[in-house]
A and B are shown apart, each in its own frame.
Chain A
Amino acid sequence: MTNTIEEIGDADLIFVIGSNTTEQHPLVATRIFEALDKGAKLYVADPRRIRLTDFAHGYAPIEPGTNLAMINAMIHVIIEEGLQDQKFIDERTNSYDIMKASVADCTPEWAEPITKVPAETIRDFARTYATSDKAMILYTMGVTQHVTATRSICALANLAMLTGHVGRPSTGINPLRGQNNVQGSGDMATLPDYLPGYQRPEWPTTWERFSKAWGDFSCLRGKVMSEMFDLIDEGKMKAMYIVGENPVLSDPDQNHTIHALKKLPFLVVQDLFLTETAEYADIVLPASSWLEKDGTYTNTERRVQLIRKVIEPVGNSKPDWIILNELMQRMGLDVDYKSTSEIMDEINLLVPTYAGITHERIQEVGIQWPCPDKNHPGTPILHVGQFRRQGGKGLFTINNFEREGERTSEEFPFIMTTGRVTHQYHTGTMTRKVWTLHREYPHGFVEINVKDAEALGIKEHQMVRVTSARGSITAMAAITDRINEKTIFMPFHFAESPVNRLTGQHLDPLIKIPELKVTAVRIEVEK
């Protein structure tokens, strides 16, 4: 997030796109309701009439996969009607004219047949966003799990810069991270194209800084997850070490994932339970949970917070950091980390945005990065006064919408979109073992529009079969008028209804995120 969760409560307008906030980030949603109580407006774009839409002043029933067309059309309207913040554009940004030219044809009438959002609704979204003083954008995987992920987020950045809704309280672009430490694991660069602190491997300063602390190391651009599975298939990748992930359920195209894991000569899985992925391992290492160890998580607003060991590790399990320390030693490295705070000392040294964040300083309240030194209070709002780019100017980008990725066909006429329910978490490794949570949603389901259900002769709670070009699964029908026609929704928590057996391998060309939100399927009553 460029801004903080607390600031949501003081916004004049909250534009939620691709986020089921009440279910996935309940304590962010409470701030939305706080703002509504103070008179704020709420605008929601989502293919499902999620709970937030009951309170919304504007609702766009957007077709999955078309966010970019809608955002570009909003930008078009703002420029056409002269609602942009010209002072902000002139003083703080570059490349405005090129971006302006790129959306010249993106009229709401152009976007309407693509997005299924009425042109007048798009105009209303654009005008309200542009004319509200403090307007915040909140988004999650409904924007990112698409082939247009990068372009859609860049278009949201265009939208925010165009209207000067960045670098001030209760504005900005605010991704809500789905897992406790998505932000931190990115910051720490368990990524193939960065070293910790988003430092590119090819920058000379990166090598200089890290080789001083680490000596010689692999400083290349590595392979992303999907490329690793391809390399296994090609017989090149021989070993894999998977910590705390369950790609058999969470990655697209399950058959491909399982095929690769079966083929892989050597697999080590480190987890709390014998997950669906661990079933394919050669060695499984038992890890301790978040209640059995110390350390820090970085929440979605970049706040680094402590977790504390509440109980001793269960059985002979060990915290991941201890396992890694002991494995490093056995691989011949001269390391001996005695505590997580000692690891943080090394992070302080190597990651400039974390340089001032020590365990000692965050005993009471977490600190938001960037925090460049030990007297710095942290940074609640990014891009105040100038952007965090070289030269300090925000850069407008061109993000053209084209139809790409998965498309429906006569054989597969429905779009399946996936997501979560509030009481379960991801592949259910933990929450399906908590009876009070599990009883709320004990099995998978298929949300289908009442008209489609009627046409297909599907009754409530009947078992239905959902089939894509990759595979076929069954789940219980949940008939509703809160989802677009010709669109179905399935949660991905349930191994018995593994939706990622259906999802495909269409990737965003730049960051390679899979298009999990759009899968062409057909649906029929299970015989």
Chain B
Amino acid sequence: MKRLETTCGYCGCGCGIYVNVADDGTLLGITPSYNHVVSQGKLCSKGWHGFGFVRDSRRLVNPLVRNEDGSFRETTWEDAYDRVVAGFKAAMTGEDNTESIGMLSSARCTNEENFLMAKFARKALRTSSIDHCARL
């Protein structure tokens, strides 16, 4: 068994947790971090139990694209990327796409990911229309 320290991914408290993982990768449970500056060894119900969705059978495990009848089918990353890039390029109107392409990012993602999203919007898509759920 491994015990890895990380930060709970739910609310803004940012509690310290250890995730207990079996050698075969099975998630066994959470141990609170007793020295953590915020949580001091305590957790709420989401902190204790909130990891249970990770291997839910409904997780998306491959990219999806639409069939002509409107249903989804699984595809490869390469195919999905080609379609994404083509779709964005088709929506580009010129030098700046602030009115034609929008991006919504997430307060669920890391700082590094949000930074890349800001860069992706403004540099790759050339749009300044990027927002996220802190507006709500």
Report the contact-size class of chain A (Cβ under 8 Å from the partner).
Answer: 35 or more
B128: chain A residues within 8 A (beta carbon): 192, 201, 218-223
Quote the shortest CB–CB distance from A441 to chain B (angstroms).
11
The residue that B118 contacts in the complex, of A196, A321, A330, A434, with Cβ under 8 A, is: A196
Q: Contact mask B93-133 → A, CB, 8 Å, 1/0?
A: 10011111111111111111111111111111111111111
Name which of A304-312, A448-456, A479-487 contacts chain B. A304-312
Taken residue by residue from 42 to 63, chain B's Cβ proximity to chain A (1 for < 8 Å, 0 otherwise) reads as 1111110111111110111111
The answer to whether B6 touches A195, judged by C-beta atoms less than 8 angstroms apart, is: no
Indicate if the CB atoms of B44 and A237 lie closer than 8 Å: no
Say yes or no: B123 contacts A431, CB within 8 Å.
Answer: no
As a 0/1 sequence over residues 222 to 260 of chain A, the CB contacts with chain B under 8 angstroms (1 = contact) are: 111111100110001111111111010011000000000
Residues of A within 8 A of B123 (CB): 214-218, 328, 333
B25 and A238 contacting across the interface, CB-CB below 8 Å: no
Residue A119 is within 8 A (CB to CB) of chain B in the complex: no
Chain B, interface SS category: mixed
Measured CB to CB, the nearest residue on chain B to A29 is B44
Residues on A with beta carbons closer than 8 Å to the beta carbon of B49? 434, 436-437
Q: Is the CB–CB distance between B56 and A512 below 8 Å? A: no
For chain B, the count of residues having a C-beta within 8 Å of the partner chain is: 98
A190 with B87: CB separation less than 8 A:
no
Q: Check B34 for interface membership: any CB of A closer than 8 A.
A: no
* 8 Å CB interface, B23-73 against A: 25, 27, 37-40, 42-47, 49-56, 58-66, 72
With beta carbons under 8 angstroms apart, the residue of B6, B54, B72, B122 that contacts A314 is: B54
- Among the listed A241, A312, A423, A513, which residue makes an inter-chain contact with B103, where contact means beta carbons less than 8 Å apart? A241
A91 at the interface (CB under 8 A from B): no
A271 to B105, CA, bound (A): 11
> Closest Cβ of chain A: how far from B127's Cβ, in Å?
6
**Does B131 lie within 8 Å of A191, measured CB to CB?**
yes
Residue A509, interface by CB 8 Å: no
Q: Does A184 belong to the interface (CB within 8 Å)?
A: yes
Report the minimum CB–CB distance from A439 to chain B (whole Å): 10
> Which A residues lie within 8 Å of B126 (CB)?
217-218
Q: Contacts A191-B131, A219-B128; is A25 near B50 (CB within 8 Å)?
A: no
Q: Within 8 Å of chain B (Cβ to Cβ): is A265?
A: yes
What are the residues of chain B within 8 A of A521 when measuring CB–CB? none
Q: Is A266 an interface residue (CB 8 A)?
A: yes
Task: Give A76 to B90 CA distance when docked, in angstroms.
Answer: 57
Contacts of A285 in B (CB 8 A): 63, 80, 84
> Which A residues from 495 to 527 make CB contacts under 8 A with B?
511-514, 516
Check if A101 is an interface residue, CB within 8 A of chain B: no
Asked whether A223 and B131 contact (CB < 8 A) given A231-B99, A291-B6, A308-B6, the answer is yes
A474 contacts chain B at the CB level, 8 A cutoff = no
Give Cα A49 to B56, complex, Å.
Answer: 36
Which B residues lie within 8 Å of A326 (CB)?
77, 81
From A24, A231, A304, contact of B111 by CB (8 A)? A304
A-B contact pairs, 27 of them (CB 8 A): A27-B44, A180-B108, A184-B114, A189-B118, A190-B118, A192-B128, A220-B98, A222-B131, A237-B99, A240-B101, A241-B102, A243-B109, A244-B109, A245-B104, A247-B104, A284-B60, A297-B110, A300-B14, A303-B14, A303-B37, A310-B27, A324-B120, A340-B112, A344-B111, A347-B115, A433-B53, A433-B58
